[in-house]
Chains A and B, each alone.
Chain A
Amino acid sequence: MLHYALKRLVSLAISLLVASLVIFVVVEVAPGDPASFMLGINAQPDTVAALRTELGLDQSKFDRYRSWVGGMLTGDFGTSYTYRTPVSQMIADRLWVSLPLALYALTLSTLIAFPAGIFAAARRGGIGDLGVTGATQLGVAIPNFWFAMMLVLIFAINLRWFSAGGFPGWDRGVWTGMKALTLPAIALALPQAAILTRVMRSSLLDILGEDFIRTARAKGLSSRQALWRHGLRNALIPVLTIIGLQFAFLLAGAIIIEQVFFLPGLGRLIFQAITQRDLIVVESVVMLLVFAVIVVNFVVDLAYAAVDPRLRART
């Protein structure tokens, strides 16, 4: 088990390294001279020169990469050119909106998908199954940002149960914060829940066709007992993969949903940074998103091993 974890850890480190290289090459090498790119064509030569020094452009590319990665390892993401504040500070503030939003949505999506998927699989071919399958068919077709707009229209503008957007901050209490994130989280979660439900259902149905389910039935388990005791844990393996992938989509999706609800999260930060050509912020936020995805996949790999003894043994 320890060996398995170590092996995944090494591959995690390699992934992060390569990802950081890709981002660095795209952002700092591809535009030619980042300083003149950031300042635009009308910039004064001395302003450009000053920025060049600040960005360390006089150093070799390798040294710049090393100091960028080294800085990130110590929590130093550089200083935003536009706002003149440390990027790490800006990210930390925004993360307090984006991360809870993504986790909130992931929780909702899992809470919806597990019961719905199990329900449908247990009633394969029945009315309940058809209903769930039909709903998921619709769910995967709905663009989450449009769904968000409809939620605003109904629950904020017409019913006035929620505010149409904005975030009051966590200072005003957890519930106030959660309430402000509820509509965005639902908008994010429902289409993902539809996908997850489908995966859960088909994965369970696959497992229910396995020989060991028949063995369990021959022992005297009812079909429902066989599903719960033997089907679920085996079906979880593909489901975990999708949950891992979904986290990436939820983080990215949060960026779009934040636009609908005017939430001060990473999405707002990154779009401002793009308009202002603040490459330092863009590069750091992208690295952070990629980091989150890779780490979540690492956790999913560990979860596999917890579920499946064959994986623990193989290494």
Chain B
Amino acid sequence: MSLLDIRNLSLSIHGKPILKDISVSIRQGEITALTGESGSGKSMTAFATIGLLPRGSVTTGEILFDGSNLLTRSESDLCDLRGRDISMVFQEPMTALNPVQTIGAQVMETILIHGAMTSSDAKARTRDVLDRVGLPPDRFPLTRYPHELSGGQRQRVVIAMAIALRPRLLIADEPTTALDVTTQAQILDLLKGLVSEQNMALMMITHDLAVVSDMADTLNVMRAGEIVEHGATFDVLRDMRHPYTRQLFDASRHQAKLSTAKAETPLLSVENVSRDYALPRTSLFGSRPMFRAVNRVSFDIKRGERVGLVGESGCGKSTLTRAILGLEPIQEGQITLDGDPVWQDGHPNLAVRRKMQVVFQDPYGSFNPRHRVSRLITEPFHLLTDPPKGADKDAAIADALTAVGLNPADADKHIHAFSGGQRQRIAIARALIIRPDLIVFDEAVSALDVRVRAQILDLMADLSRDYGLTYLFISHDLSVVRSITDRVLVMRAGEIVEDRPTPAVFEAPEHPYTRTLIDAAPQLPAFPETQDAARPAF
């Protein structure tokens, strides 16, 4: 018999349908994944199960836990159940902990709120679970505050809170999405270990099919509030009976077809560059201590070359990017584009800036919401001494929009009329419009769903062929870089540890850190690629 049996669950929030007739069942000791793109309703299924739906939610159907329907239980019954029988781990560890309480107090609260033990026993148990999740007492005493821990460590605390009373069902909502790939691997191992050790059921919400294939016994594929396919993970991924599953799978391992580059003349040159940040003063009158975010980094990019820059959060890649773009001065070394320095006499060099453009990560934050598309994408014209006017300007706008697969008529719309993927196309149009020598893609596909991501990567490959683009592609995700670059730089702790052609890096990584990154990334099983890969409308 199933531990959890969701039967014909439908949910609407303020009258808007979110879930339609969902049925999922999870057995003790089993990992069940819910997967799908953003907005598919997978997180809401989790919140419905633990009884923490937002205001204005109306549900029909049944959620049977141990045979009793949770949807009809009273709130105080649910409070008894939560934390003791059903627990949850959330996506964002940075904000999931109370900043003004120690980690010990927060883990212990799970135990004490249910009156499960005396407080001295609870303290001992707290210590045990923190040890179990990999936070040993010498480095992580109970008196630590959340702000003293890294994201991965905080996620371990959240997991400790969730498992302190050995619940029978654990719900994990994208538990590793906010974490680096090496940390992700550790957290996934931890969760797997806990499931087999405690014979727990785990409901795993994730958008990442590679994680699913790595972890889950059974799989439910969700789209727009419905479950389109379910079954044993291996079977579902092998058969892919539903076209949506196939689209997701193909898009997840999609490789854009990059034309061969003719790279000879040097364009960007980064020589011995260091960037220091002042930290807050530690003593009243002493000088402020410095943190070296980028340490004597050197590399260059030739005209027509497509280079990837990969590293985990805090490795200094964003700092280096800002320095290359001339947004911040550097403390040591020299950055030149076509022989001219990007930063000169304490000011960014405008002559160089007009040869560079950037595409940012967040398709929702990178446009002024008050302006129309035509104004947004022509902003770089500001850099030109003689920007096109009138009909020339309109033609440039139409060209740029057409190049990225949009309609010239879109120029008059406001940005909120577009989806995330379309916005990223607009961002690329903005970067293209002055025909820069170098484009920097700063995590430009990281916030996108897989199918949209595959389309944007294809677009980049097409543009690269048609316009002979030179770009620097910055990403925390090694696998994305593989199909879209000629050469990869791997960055760690402010330094570049590997700088070699892309195929060589993936086939025979030299630096142990690169190897760790490659090994830590979850892999999709190898099934043959289908023809209609990544070509759905968005």
A residues near B, CB below 8 A?
3, 6-7, 10, 210-212, 214-222, 225, 229-230, 233-234, 307-310, 313-315
CA–CA, A21 and B283, complex, Å: 28
CA–CA, A309 and B79, complex, Å: 29
Contact check, A218 vs B88: say whether CB atoms are below 8 A apart.
yes
A contact residues around B99 at 8 Å (CB):
212, 234, 308-310
B contact residues around A214 at 8 Å (CB):
52, 90, 96
The minimal Cβ–Cβ distance linking A229 to chain B, given in whole angstroms, is 7
B340 part of interface (Cβ distance < 8 Å): no
The minimal Cβ–Cβ distance linking A70 to chain B, given in whole angstroms, is 25
CA–CA, A178 and B83, complex, Å: 51
The contact size tier of chain B is: 35 or more
Contact check, B98 vs A220: say whether CB atoms are below 8 A apart.
no
**3 closest residue pairs by CB, A with B:** A220-B83, A219-B83, A211-B95
A contact residues around B283 at 8 Å (CB):
3
Known: A212-B95, A220-B84. A3 touches B284 (CB 8 A): yes
User: What would 8 more interface pairs be, CB under 8 Å, given A218-B90, A221-B79, A310-B145?
Assistant: A10-B284, A211-B95, A212-B97, A214-B52, A214-B90, A219-B161, A234-B100, A315-B281
A interface, over-half SS: helix
The minimal Cβ–Cβ distance linking A138 to chain B, given in whole angstroms, is 28
Contact check, A309 vs B147: say whether CB atoms are below 8 A apart.
yes
Which chain B residues (60-99) contact chain A, with CB distance < 8 Å? 75-76, 79-84, 87-88, 90, 92, 95-99
Q: Which of B92, B110, B147, B281 contacts A220 (CB 8 A)?
A: B110
Question: Of A210, A225, A230, A314, which is in contact with the most chain B CB atoms at under 10 Å from its CB?
Answer: A230
User: Which A-chain residue is minimally distant from B145 (CB atoms)?
Assistant: A309
Contact check, A220 vs B284: say whether CB atoms are below 8 A apart.
no
B158 part of interface (Cβ distance < 8 Å): yes
User: Which B-chain residue is minimally distant from A219 (CB atoms)?
Assistant: B83
A-B contact pairs, 18 of them (CB 8 A): A3-B282, A10-B284, A212-B97, A212-B98, A217-B52, A218-B52, A219-B87, A219-B109, A219-B110, A219-B113, A220-B79, A220-B82, A220-B83, A221-B113, A230-B101, A233-B101, A313-B145, A313-B147
CA–CA, A151 and B84, complex, Å: 55
B contact residues around A10 at 8 Å (CB):
284
B162 part of interface (Cβ distance < 8 Å): yes
Known: A211-B92, A234-B98, A314-B280. A220 touches B113 (CB 8 A): yes
Contact check, A220 vs B114: say whether CB atoms are below 8 A apart.
yes
Known: A218-B50, A220-B113, A314-B280. A211 touches B96 (CB 8 A): yes
A contact residues around B109 at 8 Å (CB):
216, 219, 221, 229
Which chain B residues (272-292) contact chain A, with CB distance < 8 Å? 280-284
Contact check, B148 vs A216: say whether CB atoms are below 8 A apart.
no
CA–CA, A222 and B80, complex, Å: 9
CA–CA, A210 and B95, complex, Å: 7
CA–CA, A277 and B444, complex, Å: 69
CA–CA, A233 and B106, complex, Å: 14
User: Which B-chain residue is minimally distant from A231 (CB atoms)?
Assistant: B98
Contact check, B100 vs A309: say whether CB atoms are below 8 A apart.
yes
CA–CA, A215 and B83, complex, Å: 10
User: Which A-chain residue is minimally distant from B102 (CB atoms)?
Assistant: A309
B contact residues around A315 at 8 Å (CB):
280-282
Question: Of B80, B83, B162, B281, which is in contact with the most chain A CB atoms at under 10 Å from its CB?
Answer: B83
Known: A6-B284, A218-B50, A220-B84. A233 touches B100 (CB 8 A): yes
A contact residues around B281 at 8 Å (CB):
315
B contact residues around A225 at 8 Å (CB):
113
B contact residues around A234 at 8 Å (CB):
98-100
CA–CA, A10 and B283, complex, Å: 13
B contact residues around A308 at 8 Å (CB):
99-100
CA–CA, A310 and B101, complex, Å: 10
Contact check, B113 vs A307: say whether CB atoms are below 8 A apart.
no
Contact check, B96 vs A215: say whether CB atoms are below 8 A apart.
yes
Question: Of B100, B109, B110, which is in contact with the most chain A CB atoms at under 10 Å from its CB?
Answer: B100
Known: A310-B145, A313-B145. A215 touches B100 (CB 8 A): no
Question: Of B76, B96, B148, B280, which is in contact with the most chain A CB atoms at under 10 Å from its CB?
Answer: B96
Question: Of A210, A220, A309, A313, which is in contact with the most chain B CB atoms at under 10 Å from its CB?
Answer: A220
B contact residues around A216 at 8 Å (CB):
98, 109
Which chain B residues (107-126) contact chain A, with CB distance < 8 Å? 109-110, 113-114
Which chain B residues (129-150) contact chain A, with CB distance < 8 Å? 145, 147-148
CA–CA, A301 and B280, complex, Å: 18
User: Which A-chain residue is minimally distant from B89 (CB atoms)?
Assistant: A218
B contact residues around A221 at 8 Å (CB):
79, 83, 109, 113
The minimal Cβ–Cβ distance linking A287 to chain B, given in whole angstroms, is 27
CA–CA, A150 and B284, complex, Å: 53
The minimal Cβ–Cβ distance linking A311 to chain B, given in whole angstroms, is 10
A contact residues around B96 at 8 Å (CB):
211-212, 214-215
A contact residues around B158 at 8 Å (CB):
215
Question: Of A3, A210, A309, which is in contact with the most chain B CB atoms at under 10 Å from its CB?
Answer: A309
CA–CA, A313 and B88, complex, Å: 30
User: Which A-chain residue is minimally distant from B164 (CB atoms)?
Assistant: A219
A contact residues around B98 at 8 Å (CB):
212, 215-216, 230, 234
A contact residues around B81 at 8 Å (CB):
220
A contact residues around B76 at 8 Å (CB):
222
A contact residues around B100 at 8 Å (CB):
233-234, 307-309
Contact check, A218 vs B83: say whether CB atoms are below 8 A apart.
yes
Contact check, A215 vs B147: say whether CB atoms are below 8 A apart.
no
Question: Of B92, B109, B281, which is in contact with the most chain A CB atoms at under 10 Å from its CB?
Answer: B109
A contact residues around B84 at 8 Å (CB):
220
